[in-house]
Amino acid sequence: MIVRLIVLVLLAQGQAGSPPTQAPQAPPKSPLFSARHLSCSFGLLATAVWKDMTPQVVSKTQDFTLQIDSIDTKKGTARIVSGNASAVVSMIVTQTGLNLVEKTRIGNLNVTTIFAAGGHNNVFLAVLSLHLGDLTGAPSVSQNYGTCEMPQ
């Protein structure tokens, strides 16, 4: 009886040994990782307007689109096309998605993340962060929220 009571107390305190651990599960294979082209649309913009050294966040709807093509997950590169402009960017592939990093001519960084999970069918959630600054004024920073679709 006392042994049973001690075992119950130890189990309740988690000291009687841990249950066997399971091997980590590989994440589900997302079709995103085989994409060679994505069409992205960002319908919501949140930007900071600087007033007296303090950011004031303003959000609004928008109609901003871009294309991502020439995706090469082995080389870690892709091309972003928006309007008449295009840029070859670095790409970091993680278990959670594709991360595109663009360095502008004057050294600003823009980051686009397309998430492997959370979307539906071949439409994936995406965030585009623009970190733009110059040598004369306050930075122009924003996050754009939307989706990227992989043609079928």
Chain centroid to Cα 134, Å, comes to 25
- Tokens coding 48: 């900071």
Question: What value does the mean pLDDT take over residues 35-53?
Answer: 95
pLDDT score at 152: 79
Lowest mean pLDDT among 25-34, 48-57, 76-85: 25-34
Tell me 32's DSSP state: G
Residue identified by tokens 């651990």 is 21
Side chain identity, residue 35: A
Global pTM reads 0.79
CA distances from 53 to 48, 57, 129, 138, 139 (A): 11, 13, 20, 9, 11
